[in-house]
Structure 1
């Protein structure tokens, strides 16, 4: 949407302008051509607010480079970047086929946000650069990115829904966002209506383990997809006290697995085929896990979370959660 204001003028002023226009057309001066060029330029750009200020971006950008965490959310909205920074093999593995194709068609311009090959990036002749990475990386390359093309920066603390909105606005993919938001709302409503009687008064805990965890440790997940379950679905899940680090930041020894017995339902990570993720397998193989009341009674639910920073993967998570909740026994 253009940011040029619409002005209303009286009939007399309109007539005067028409007369002036005829004179200028007859003269064919250079001044009116310059004015026309400025008008066209203004009509083709619009302002967006970002971490690095108010940025003039193309209304319909054609050559977009995504850096850092903007890669997959932009592609999730149907975007086809000409350049990207590298993403992990595990992130690529869970992408839908068409999104993986879009990613692989782009030129990789760096291993991560702070390690961008600026010469290669400039060679792509981008008309817009979308960026989300650490502020230290911005200090390192931000000004040089802005010298190449209009650059829109978001901080790492940007909430995922706001992030999707902002990317859709800057990247001109708002139509896809509208469809995703409608589908998200529909699925949340369905889950709440279908399982509300089962989940009300039921205590949940989301446990996980990553390949970065030390051997013999796991953590309670209160960020990521569990935030969707807690904040949007309304499941009773533990979370850190206000102002404290997330519970997920604390590695817990396997000796504390038994403490999960105080929860009615346990959720844990599985892959797209429904098998425990490779890092979590050591947890489910322990006798302590197998002895948990939730596990022995069929109330330990594997849930697939392909990501939580854009609507597409969150919708896939909701589908998995829906299927998992459908298996819960009627009685605790």
Structure 2
């Protein structure tokens, strides 16, 4: 698994317009057509009722009133520290069938999948024609046997993600009223975050992902949650120079000897490895010279977020709580 697989998940861009007028058959019967983000035209005899989805998408569907249609999920194992992982009050992932295979990254248990007889599989892409948590070998076996809707993360914003997620949910049978709670909660938490940051003196924030050999510093424009926090909320997100970025444009890769290249007021650490990631930062002597480390100003970067308004409201609300705690 490369770092792009490790790091991509910060956000979903669910741009799935319907092929004709933007909605499926109003009567709930008859053929269902859909054109996904990569241009695949899906055509089913009826609207999908049995969906297998990547965990993030499954939670988003449940947030928008479609949890009963999710028959299974797949994806990375649950976070070792559940409070830092994917959050949902509407879908208990432990109670839903998991068809993730036991092999390498992107493996799916095809026998268990077949037994569920799904109408539709939903995953996502971060570009380069790769499917999120479906490796090339598995993708080849799925092709021709299952309809797969691919959601694009690349080049989107939180707002466009939510608009398109709601179009997808509407096509699958959700009502506009199913989105209202999340939209209201997200608007409220945006205001709260701006207030918390202002009261804390508008600190500079650096999003990082530690590893054994390198410190990866996130490129803000590559992650829609960071873009939102910077552009819509007004937080001071530090951003690497373009000339310092890796080939994918996601990170500035620093050796631990150069871990003090940036001097943020607050370190926003990638929580997908659980508290062990924060521990890794705290064990590095050069890093411990930056302001955030000296002030013990750490907040989790909860990358695992459902692409629904309620999902982002939950994640950003937790971020506001974390900021308040260290301010």
Shorter-chain TM band: 0.5 to 0.7
> Could you tell me how far 1:69 is from its partner in structure 2?
6.1
Question: Match of 1:24?
Answer: none
Question: Match of 2:154?
Answer: 157
Among 100, 111, 116, which residue is 1:124 paired with? Answer: 116
Matches within 5 A, 1:300-311: 300-303=297-300, 305=302, 307-311=304-308
**What is the count of residue pairs matched by the alignment?**
285
Among 99, 106, 110, which residue is 2:97 paired with? Answer: 106
* Greater Cα shift, 53-62 or 314-323: 53-62
| TM-align CA RMSD | 4.3
Among 59, 74, 91, which residue is 2:61 paired with? Answer: 74
Query: C-alpha distance in 1, partners of 2:260/2:19?
Result: 59
Query: C-alpha distance in 1, partners of 2:270/2:129?
Result: 33
> Could you tell me how far 1:115 is from its partner in structure 2?
3.9
Among 177, 180, 183, which residue is 1:181 paired with? Answer: 183
SS in 2 for 1:90: coil
- 1:189-230: per-residue Cα shift (whole Å, max 9, x none)? 232245446555x53322332xxx233x31222354433322
Query: Quick check: 1:204–1:267 contact (8 Å CA) kept in 2?
Result: yes
Q: Which of the pair has more CA radius of gyration? A: 1
- 1:297-317: per-residue Cα shift (whole Å, max 9, x none)? 56x232351524524443233
Question: Match of 1:9?
Answer: none
Q: Which has the higher contact order (CA 8 A, sep 6+)?
A: 2
Mind listing any 5+ residue stretches in structure 2 that lack a counterpart? Answer: 1-17
Query: C-alpha distance in 2, partners of 1:91/1:45?
Result: 43
Q: TM-score, normalised on structure 2? A: 0.66
* Greater Cα shift, 57-66 or 133-142: 133-142
Query: Quick check: 1:122–1:148 contact (8 Å CA) kept in 2?
Result: no
Mind listing any 5+ residue stretches in structure 1 that lack a counterpart? Answer: 6-38
Does residue 65 in structure 1 map to residue 52 in structure 2? yes
Query: Quick check: 2:190–2:233 contact (8 Å CA) kept in 1?
Result: yes
> Could you tell me how far 1:63 is from its partner in structure 2?
1.3
Q: Give the helix-richer structure, 1 or 2.
A: 1
Rate the CA distance shift 1:104–1:190 in 2: closer, same or farther, 3 A.
same
Query: C-alpha distance in 2, partners of 1:45/1:108?
Result: 28
SS in 2 for 1:232: helix
